Amino acid sequence: MTAATANAAAVETMTALVFTAPSTVELQQVPVPVAGPDEVIVEVAASGICGSELHGIRHVGFRKPPLVMGHEFAGTTPDGRRVTVNPLISCGACDACGRGENHLCRSREILGIHRPGAFAQRVAVPVSAIRELPESMDLTTAAMIEPLANAVHAVRLADPRPGARIAVLGAGTIGLVTLLVAQQYGEVSVSDLAEERLATARALGASHTATRLSGEFDVVIDAVGAAPTHAASIDLLRPGGTAVWIGLLSSEAGFDGQEIVRSEKRVIGSYCYRPSDFDRAVELAGSVQLDWTTSFSLDQGVEVFEDLLGGRHDVIKAVLHP
Ligand SMILES: [Zn+2]
Ligand SMILES: [Zn+2]
């Protein structure tokens, strides 16, 4: 045995789900990550599949293969702490970071997009990204903290007054966690094309559900992001109301710009979360209902991705367990 093969044999491997080509993920054995300076290795217990990942592997661009995706996760550190991870890594030194808007940092990176993520047994993360979990919180629930942080941010941007009439367009994961956060301010109506998702929205406390909403709202949150929901988000607003766009399905705007002028309606984009929103989501996760996920083993990952890409919609949030 040469020195080179001895070294190769010494490299420990682990199972990972790797995005390898358009619409394709594969289970592979990859080298276990080694913690760099100021990093720690997290043993992954639960890692949610995001709608943006299904979209992202169909339309290759933002995520480039080969890539281990996975940015919604929880696990344990080598010293036994139970943690979730804020996957948004920023420079910490620029004007945006200085304002607490680390999510708008021009050199931000996201675990599972710009560097290896958590569809694997282990993942290397910056020590500063670790958030310790309360004893009572299970790790599958904790994997929902990242989506919940998106909702905390979107609702904060909408700034609803107590008693506000709120509409959420789309009852996928982001729409449902937005419902959970928004109903602390007022009654929330939810629209979606899939009846089983509307049933989940009702179970989580939506005051009204429909395939298409009518009436007038103080706040409308578009958790779909297609031209028709962009238009609806503005049509459904009262004069002077606020629409927040969080969905990313299409880049088409699709709305009447003059309506924004004549009725002083506001449209705000919402992307990820500030560090403070993420911390708020850690607190909130213990008191809102997040038990509507469906668990699979990481070994089933290829099949789960294929099913979801094929349009399976009885599963709202699939969580993979290595
Ligand atoms: Zn996500
Ligand atoms: Zn920065």
Can you give the pLDDT of all 322 residues of the chain as single tens digits?
A: 444 444 555 689 999 999 999 999 999 999 999 999 999 999 999 999 999 999 999 988 889 999 999 999 999 999 999 999 999 999 999 999 999 999 999 999 999 999 999 999 999 999 999 999 999 999 999 999 999 999 999 999 999 999 999 999 999 999 999 999 999 999 999 999 999 999 999 999 999 999 999 999 999 999 999 999 999 999 999 999 999 999 998 889 888 889 899 999 999 999 999 999 999 999 999 999 999 999 999 999 999 999 999 998 889 999 999 9
Query: Which chain residues have CB less than 5 Å from ligand 2, an ion?
Result: 90-91, 94, 97, 105
Of the listed ligands, the closest to the CA of 70 is: 1
Predicted pLDDT at 10: 67
Predicted pLDDT at 9: 54
Predicted pLDDT at 271: 97
d(CA 17, CA 57): 13
Cis peptide before 66 (omega within 30 of 0): yes
d(CA 7, CA 3): 6
Domain boundaries, the chain: 3-144+290-321, 149-269
Predicted pLDDT at 21: 97
d(CA 125, CA 106): 20
pTM over 0.85: yes
Domain 3-144+290-321 CATH superfamily: Medium-chain alcohol dehydrogenases, catalytic domain (3.90.180.10)
Alpha-carbon Rg for the chain, nearest whole angstrom, is 20
Output the CA 71–ligand 1 centroid distance in Å: 6
Amino acid at 312: R
Output the CA 170–ligand 1 centroid distance in Å: 15
Output the CA 312–ligand 1 centroid distance in Å: 18
Query: What six digits make up the tokens of 24?
Result: 């394709």
Query: What six digits make up the tokens of 304?
Result: 């789960």
Query: How far is residue 82 from each of residues 42, 85, 86, 132, measured CA to CA in Å?
Result: 9, 10, 14, 6
Output the CA 146–ligand 1 centroid distance in Å: 7
CATH class in words for 149-269 = alpha beta
Output the CA 96–ligand 2 centroid distance in Å: 6
Q: Are strands 237-245 and 266-269 parallel, antiparallel or unpaired?
A: parallel
Output the CA 16–ligand 2 centroid distance in Å: 30
214 class by beta-carbon count within 10 Å (0-12 exposed, 13-18 middle, 19+ buried): exposed
